[in-house]
Homo-oligomer: A and B are copies of this chain.
Amino acid sequence: MTHGYSHQVTTPPPAEPRFTLDRTSPVPLYYQLAQQLEAAIEHGVLSPGSLLGNEIDLAGRLGLSRPTVRQAIQSLVDKGLLVRRRGVGTQVVHSQVRRPLELSSLYDDLEASGQNPATRVLHNRVRPATPEVAAALRMPEGSEVVVLERLRLTHGEPVAFLCNFLPAGLLDLDSAKLEETGLYRMLRAAGITLHSARQSIGARSATAEEAERLGEAEGAALLTMERTAYDNTGRPVEFGAHVYRASRYAFEFQLLVRS
């Protein structure tokens, strides 16, 4: 092979997308940059495997300081979109799938995948907490809790039976609203910001009653989830025991490795 001029052995020069920063905006500069980087990756302007160019130059070109640029890049590294390697540079990750694991709302999941979800509220009353529920919500046994039973359907077919417990008086749980949207959206709307949740996913065979409700045969395999959700202060906000038709639903998500 002859060594001609300007031959490119490795990566083509980074096809620098244009970034526009608005210093008068209340949106932080690092966040503006992160969003535009993410969009460039999403739209393929920055192709998988391509290098980003070093942080110092990038900062200079953008008129930002290096820590600010690093903060933008770091947020995308945390999302799994970029990988940094010392001595090498920052690269766009090759993976094709980019779904994070979230504290998933079944309603939102179904809606996002175009499944046209519907909800039927079967039960919505205040009851004294059973020992199990009281323990999960860290309330005295017998405290008043809202007991909520809902059937979730897509295209008119049952997908899941959802049983939830919330401290009474935490928010107004209007049945009509609940049929229009998801429980988590109502929590957000009520100013309750979720912080974390503890989940357990298992399986079991359908009882006669469950089979009836979900339109499955008795003994069919069902997917189960129990979840306790906590707010900012660590207070339990919601406890739920859900049962899904395994023939129509599975939990899908992407994990990032803690490094």
Residue A100 interfacial (CB < 8 Å): yes
Q: Is the pair A196, B256 in contact by a Cβ cutoff of 8 Å?
A: yes
Q: What per-residue 1/0 map shows which CB atoms of A219-254 lie under 8 Å from chain B?
A: 111110000001011110000000000100111111
Residue A213 interfacial (CB < 8 Å): no
- Chain B residues with CB under 8 Å of A251's CB are 199-202
Selected A-B contacts with CB under 8 Å, 30 pairs = A48-B234, A49-B234, A80-B195, A80-B196, A93-B195, A93-B196, A95-B230, A96-B234, A101-B101, A101-B255, A102-B258, A193-B257, A195-B257, A196-B255, A197-B255, A198-B254, A199-B251, A200-B252, A201-B201, A201-B251, A201-B252, A202-B246, A202-B250, A203-B221, A203-B222, A203-B246, A204-B221, A204-B246, A205-B219, A221-B222
18 other A-B residue contacts (CB within 8 Å) besides A194-B257, A199-B252: A48-B234, A93-B196, A95-B195, A99-B198, A102-B258, A195-B256, A196-B254, A197-B254, A197-B257, A199-B251, A200-B250, A202-B246, A203-B221, A203-B223, A205-B205, A205-B220, A219-B219, A221-B221
**A residues in contact (CB < 8 Å) with B:** 48-49, 67, 78, 80, 83, 85, 91, 93-97, 99-103, 193-205, 219-223, 230, 232-235, 246, 249-259
